[in-house]
């Protein structure tokens, strides 16, 4: 079993103490996001977990606690998102210079194979132009050269539930021609810095540029890290274009306070603030009891 921690919220950034307590207890409880009365108990015992995949924009709070996982023999890796946006789009993130330094520190702790960069989502508007992205990505990957082997990119999706103001900030979807242009330039920069580029859940085929459709929860990577074959199948509950392996997510929606305007996992900061009041590190549930 693969544990996803988490597509629904940033557990490393905000709930690291709860997560380690769950590891010590050997289980977590998860409510079905569509029906809170349906509750699943998820084993977190080392013998039941093939790998833990952490999704984060700031792993620093968890980094000092990783020895607990190492001592118990867990395999894990990080999907760490770094974007060029500031507080107009990502309201509550730490300074990006600090984030990059901690990315490098984590890579030095656990190895380049286990810290994957996500440059996601790519938003093009009057402020964050193509040239802006190219320059930022060039500087970012130069700093991360030797500290990660892979970068996963995706282009922004404009969900119906996003507010009118948010849609105005994001501007409009990126057309295929611009996607090819952006991807081609990013790929050249990535290659110059010994980083392989992949896409995430993108309909567009960029294979002519040497950019394959990737998998964030990557069965091949997990088999490489663990040194053994796995019988885990492709995820059935994700989007059609998702190549991820099947996993169990232990997070909860409406619990992340990064405040990213493009986020699909929050309906609004008021819900997040109220939910965080219900968080108890001793509860088997991320939120509530």
- Report the distance separating Cα 75 and Cα 2, nearest Å: 10
pLDDT of amino acid 229:
86
Question: Residues with Cβ < 8 Å from 68, sequence gap 6 or more?
Answer: 20, 23, 24
Least confident among 37-46, 128-137, 264-273 = 264-273
Confidence of residue 164 (pLDDT cuts 50, 70, 90): low
Tell me the pairing of strands 35-43 and 150-155.
unpaired
Ramachandran region, residue 34 (left: φ > 0; alpha: ψ -120 to 50; beta: rest): alpha
C-alpha–C-alpha distance, residues 119 and 225, integer Å: 23
Q: What is the pLDDT of residue 34?
A: 87
Contact call for residues 232 and 184 (beta carbons, < 8 A):
no
Residue 171 has which token pair?
A: 């501007």
Q: Is pLDDT of 162 > 80?
A: no
Instruction: Give CA–CA dist 126/171, Å, rounded.
Output: 8
Q: Six-digit token pair at 165? A: 């103001």
Which residues 6+ apart lie within 8 Å of 287 measured at CB? Answer: 252, 255, 275, 276, 278, 279
Mean pLDDT of 244-248: 94
Whether the bond between 6 and the residue before it is cis, its omega within 30 degrees of 0, is: yes
Pick the CATH number of 2-277 from 3.30.40, 3.80.30, 3.30.410, 3.10.50: 3.80.30
What's the CA gap between 275 and 257, in Å, rounded? 11
Mean pLDDT of 39-62: 97
28 compared with 165, residue with greater pLDDT: 28
* Spatial CB neighbours of 129, under 8 Å, sequence gap ≥ 6: none
The token duo for 92 is: 């509550």
Lowest mean pLDDT among 16-30, 164-178, 215-229, 248-262: 164-178
Strands 2-5 and 248-249: parallel
Query: Residue range 66-73: average pLDDT?
Result: 97
DSSP 161: T
Can you tell me the distance from the alpha carbon of 261 to that of 92, in angstroms, rounded to the nearest whole number? Answer: 11
Q: Where are the beta strands (DSSP E) in the chain?
A: 2-5, 27-32, 35-43, 51-56, 76-81, 115-122, 150-155, 196-199, 248-249
C-alpha to C-alpha distance for 112 and 47, rounded to whole angstroms: 25
- pLDDT tens digit string along 214-229? 999 999 999 999 888 8
Q: Which residues on adjacent β-strands are paired with residue 2?
A: 51
Banded model confidence at residue 174, pLDDT cuts 50, 70, 90? confident
SS3 30: strand
């Amino acid at each position: 079993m693969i544990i996803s921690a988490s597509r629904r919220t940033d557990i490393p950034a905000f709930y690291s103490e709860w997560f380690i307590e769950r590891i010590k207890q050997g289980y977590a409880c998860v409510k079905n996001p569509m029906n809170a009365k349906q509750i699943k108990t998820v084993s977190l015992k080392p013998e039941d977990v093939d790998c833990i995949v952490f999704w984060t924009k700031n792993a620093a709070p968890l980094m000092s606690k990783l020895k607990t996982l190492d001592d118990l023999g867990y395999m894990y890796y990080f999907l760490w998102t770094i974007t060029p946006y500031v507080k107009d789009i990502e309201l509550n993130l730490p300074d990006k210079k600090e984030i990059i330094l901690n990315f490098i520190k984590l890579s030095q702790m656990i190895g380049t194979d286990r810290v994957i960069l996500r440059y996601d989502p790519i938003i093009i508007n009057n402020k964050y132009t193509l040239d802006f992205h190219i320059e930022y990505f060039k500087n970012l990957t130069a700093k991360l050269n030797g500290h990660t082997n892979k970068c996963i990119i995706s282009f922004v999706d404009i969900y119906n539930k996003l507010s009118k103001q948010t849609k105005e900030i994001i501007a409009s979807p990126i057309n295929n021609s611009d996607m090819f242009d952006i991807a081609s330039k990013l790929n050249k920069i990535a290659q110059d810095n010994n980083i392989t580029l992949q896409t995430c859940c993108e309909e567009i085929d960029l294979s002519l540029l040497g950019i394959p459709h990737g998998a964030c929860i990557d069965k091949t990577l997990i088999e490489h890290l663990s040194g053994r074959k796995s019988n885990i199948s492709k995820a059935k509950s994700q989007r059609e274009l998702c190549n991820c392996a099947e996993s169990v997510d232990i997070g909860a929606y409406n619990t992340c306070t990064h405040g990213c305007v493009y986020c699909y996992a929050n309906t609004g900061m008021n819900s997040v603030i109220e939910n965080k009041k219900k968080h108890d590190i001793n509860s088997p549930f991320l939120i509530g009891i």
